[in-house]
């Protein structure tokens, strides 16, 4: 490997097979390394904003509020208040004299105007510095307006994106337990960690319906405040993006005894396993129950039908893509596990995989499922990624908005697997879309006209 990593970052990069597994992760980014990571505020915003009937008010300078629905497009089947981004637009005078008055006025005006079911108020860096008492203002307004007004303690500088996930989970936990749970089926679950990009949660909900399982709350894609309030009445929490919502599942287990299960909806293998795991959970919880057995039968039929329909259609892509090289850099590493398996299904080789917020357990799992020589990297930056992509001769890079320009500048195909995408990549149907998108990008004739070969040599 070329010496591109700063010395202090070398232990956050691991090449499988070169030495015994050892990677340093889950720590603050190195100053000056221009990390691909988002801040604490962004971490909380991405988790909470898909709650479509809540007001989302960013308390801070207008720049923070640029992080809106436009760049994180979670869809809603009903209200669309989440698509509006509100900010208190703090100015110099507010920084000197405090922004509490402005925050209170903004909340009162917005609640009157939009009639939300709840309001989330996000702290940003400057609020942490000037010390506005969000808790007190939210309490006052909650009292006056009679809806939950919840401070999200997400000052941008107080840690990395994972601290933002925790702040979001803490905020949602204040809602959970405040709703009525009567009438919820014993075969029920909450969907945690899916954000309904391109409508994915609707497809996942349909699978659960076909299995005969009730979905109580979407947390948070196409989310509703009243559903979240009664989420503690579900029998199971099914957690996809575990980095962002596992803390909430743990808190719910501790306080309300709701067990949780980690799943992934990406790729045929993981999607099928997720449905079977859930069916098995209910069989184990209610041994001998005829409905639990019927759920398993319906699950088997569902997976068979979907896989039978999908595999022949994948064949064309597999033949064309076999042997091509892929690189993955994503926010949470749960997605990376599934992507490694999805690429394997079309006979492609993953040569680089990394994430913004992976834990040691996550990277250990990645080390177990990747091929020797694969670069595994935590909290990377453009310089490192560019160098790895060139060194490995990658054909397609999978990432998000910040990775896209790196790929295009190098003349490499790119697949958006983040919150900006408009195509379903989850579920069985999503696997086909994914293969089609990878195929279109890798095989595109455009690469004949860009200086890819030169930059990759
Ligand atoms: S909270 Fe801080 S780091 Fe995050 S966008 Fe705002 S100013 Fe930037």
What are the C-alpha distances in Å from 10 to residues 111, 327, 358? 49, 19, 16
Per 3-state DSSP, the chain is made up of helix, strand and coil in percentages (nearest 5) of: 50, 15, 35
Q: Give every strand in the sheet of 118-123, ordered side by side.
A: 86-87, 54-59, 118-123, 149-152
Highest mean pLDDT among 23-32, 33-42, 60-69, 310-319: 310-319
Ligand 1 site: residues with CB under 6 angstroms? 39, 41-42, 60, 64, 124-125, 156
Question: Which of 405, 409, 410, 438 is closest to 423 using CA atoms?
Answer: 438
Shortest-distance Cα residue to atom 3 of ligand 1: 156
Distance CA 108, CA 114 (A): 10
The pLDDT of residue 98 is above 60: yes
Nearest atom in ligand 1 to 38's CA: 4
Helix runs in 115-240, H state only? 125-130, 134-145, 161-173, 200-211, 225-229
Give the Å distance between the CA of 41 and the centre of ligand 1. Answer: 7
If one residue of 42, 87, 129 were mutated to test the ligand 1 pocket, choosing by the most ligand atoms within 8 A of its CB, it would be 42
Q: How confident is the model at residue 3 (pLDDT cuts 50, 70, 90)?
A: low
Nearest atom in ligand 1 to 123's CA: 1
What are the C-alpha distances in Å from 252 to residues 164, 288, 329? 18, 27, 30
Q: How confident is the model at residue 242 (pLDDT cuts 50, 70, 90)?
A: low
Whether 163 and 244 have beta carbons less than 8 Å apart is answered as no
- Phi/psi at 146 (nearest 5 deg)? 75, 20
If one residue of 37, 125, 132 were mutated to test the ligand 1 pocket, choosing by the most ligand atoms within 8 A of its CB, it would be 125
pLDDT tens, residue by residue, 277-304: 999 999 999 999 999 999 999 999 999 9
Whether 217 and 252 have beta carbons less than 8 Å apart is answered as no
| Separation of first and last alpha carbons in the chain | 14
- Give the per-residue pLDDT at 162: 87
- Give the per-residue pLDDT at 450: 79
Give the Å distance between the CA of 160 and the centre of ligand 1. Answer: 11
* Residue owning tokens 């015994």: 20
Contacts of 263 (CB under 8 A, 6+ apart): 238, 239, 240, 270, 273, 274, 277, 278
Give the Å distance between the CA of 58 and the centre of ligand 1. Answer: 11
Nearest atom in ligand 1 to 67's CA: 5
- Give the per-residue pLDDT at 85: 86
Question: Which of 268, 265, 346, 263 is closest to 310 using CA atoms?
Answer: 268
Average pLDDT over residues 206-227: 98
Strand bridging mode 349-355 / 396-399:
unpaired
**Which conformational region is residue 288 in: left (phi greater than 0), alpha (psi within -120 to 50 degrees), or beta?**
left
Give the Å distance between the CA of 274 and the centre of ligand 1. Answer: 36
Give the Å distance between the CA of 65 and the centre of ligand 1. Answer: 9
Give the Å distance between the CA of 86 and the centre of ligand 1. Answer: 15
The pLDDT of residue 59 is above 60: yes
Helix runs in 151-289, H state only? 161-173, 200-211, 225-229, 242-256, 268-285
- Give the per-residue pLDDT at 452: 64
If one residue of 45, 64, 128 were mutated to test the ligand 1 pocket, choosing by the most ligand atoms within 8 A of its CB, it would be 64
Shortest-distance Cα residue to atom 7 of ligand 1: 125
Nearest atom in ligand 1 to 60's CA: 6
Residue with more model confidence, 29 or 333: 29
Give the Å distance between the CA of 34 and the centre of ligand 1. Answer: 14
Shortest-distance Cα residue to atom 5 of ligand 1: 64
Residue with more model confidence, 135 or 85: 135
CB atoms closer than 10 angstroms to residue 318: 15
CB atoms closer than 10 angstroms to residue 93: 10
pLDDT tens, residue by residue, 163-184: 999 999 999 999 999 999 999 9
> Residue 257 carries which DSSP code?
-
- Phi/psi at 149 (nearest 5 deg)? -120, 110
Sort 449 into a burial class: Cβ within 10 Å, 0-12 / 13-18 / 19+.
exposed
What are the C-alpha distances in Å from 397 to residues 17, 318, 339, 401? 22, 17, 11, 12
pLDDT tens, residue by residue, 399-422: 988 899 999 999 999 998 877 788
The pLDDT of residue 396 is above 90: yes
3-class DSSP state of 400 = coil
- Phi/psi at 356 (nearest 5 deg)? -75, -35
Residue with more model confidence, 140 or 3: 140
Contacts of 131 (CB under 8 A, 6+ apart): none
Q: What percent of the chain has pLDDT over 70?
A: 97
If one residue of 29, 37, 41, 121 were mutated to test the ligand 1 pocket, choosing by the most ligand atoms within 8 A of its CB, it would be 41
Nearest atom in ligand 1 to 155's CA: 1
Shortest-distance Cα residue to atom 4 of ligand 1: 156
Distance CA 122, CA 150 (A): 9
Give the Å distance between the CA of 423 and the centre of ligand 1. Answer: 29
Give the Å distance between the CA of 154 and the centre of ligand 1. Answer: 9
Query: What's the CA angle centered on 421, arms 327 and 167, to 5 degrees?
Result: 90
Give the Å distance between the CA of 256 and the centre of ligand 1. Answer: 34
Give the Å distance between the CA of 124 and the centre of ligand 1. Answer: 6
Distance CA 321, CA 443 (A): 8
Contacts of 369 (CB under 8 A, 6+ apart): 337, 340, 341
User: Taking the model in full, what pTM does it have?
Assistant: 0.91
Whether 354 and 328 have beta carbons less than 8 Å apart is answered as yes
Give the Å distance between the CA of 163 and the centre of ligand 1. Answer: 13
Q: What tokens were used for 207?
A: 């699978």
If one residue of 43, 59, 156, 160 were mutated to test the ligand 1 pocket, choosing by the most ligand atoms within 8 A of its CB, it would be 156
């Amino acid at each position: 490997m070329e010496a591109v990593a700063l010395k202090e970052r070398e232990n956050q990069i691991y090449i499988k097979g070169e030495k015994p597994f050892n990677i340093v992760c889950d720590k603050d980014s190195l100053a000056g390394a221009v990390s691909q990571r988002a801040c604490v505020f962004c971490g909380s915003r991405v988790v909470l904003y898909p709650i479509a009937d809540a007001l989302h008010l960013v308390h801070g300078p207008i720049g923070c509020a640029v992080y809106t629905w436009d760049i994180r497009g979670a869809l809603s089947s009903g209200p669309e208040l989440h698509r509006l981004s509100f900010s208190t637009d703090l100015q110099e005078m507010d920084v000197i004299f405090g922004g509490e008055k402005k925050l209170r006025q903004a909340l009162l005006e917005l609640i009157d105007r939009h009639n939300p079911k709840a309001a989330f108020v996000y702290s940003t860096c400057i609020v942490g510095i000037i010390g506005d008492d969000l808790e007190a203002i939210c309490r006052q307004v909650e009292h006056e307006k009679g809806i939950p007004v919840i401070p999200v303690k997400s000052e941008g500088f107080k840690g990395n994106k994972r601290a933002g996930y925790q702040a979001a989970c803490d905020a949602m936990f204040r809602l959970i337990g405040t709703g009525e749970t009567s009438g919820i089926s014993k075969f029920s679950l909450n969907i945690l960690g899916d954000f309904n990009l391109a409508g994915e949660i609707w497809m996942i909900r349909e699978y659960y319906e076909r299995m005969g399982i009730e979905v109580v709350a979407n947390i948070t894609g196409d989310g509703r405040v009243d559903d979240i309030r009664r989420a503690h009445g579900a029998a199971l929490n099914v957690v996809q993006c575990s980095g962002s919502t596992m803390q909430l599942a743990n808190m719910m287990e501790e306080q309300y005894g709701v067990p949780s299960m980690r799943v992934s909806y990406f790729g045929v293998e993981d999607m099928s396993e997720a449905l079977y795991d859930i069916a098995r959970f209910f069989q184990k919880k209610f041994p001998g129950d005829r409905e639990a057995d019927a759920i398993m039968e319906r699950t088997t039929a569902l997976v068979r039908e979907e896989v039978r329909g999908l595999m022949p259609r994948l064949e064309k892509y597999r033949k064309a893509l076999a042997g091509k090289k892929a690189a993955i850099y994503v926010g949470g590493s749960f997605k990376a596990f599934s992507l490694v398996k999805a690429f394997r299904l079309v006979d492609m080789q993953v040569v680089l995989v990394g994430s913004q917020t992976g834990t040691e357990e996550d990277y250990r799992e990645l080390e177990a499922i990747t091929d020797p020589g694969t670069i595994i990297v935590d909290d990377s930056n453009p310089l490192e990624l560019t160098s790895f992509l060139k060194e490995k001769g990658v054909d397609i890079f999978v990432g998000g908005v910040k990775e896209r320009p790196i790929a295009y500048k190098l003349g490499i195909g790119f697949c958006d697997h983040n919150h900006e995408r408009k195509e379903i990549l989850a579920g069985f149907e999503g696997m086909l879309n994914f293969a089609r998108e990878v195929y279109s990008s890798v095989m595109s004739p455009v690469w004949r006209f860009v200086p890819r070969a030169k930059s990759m040599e």
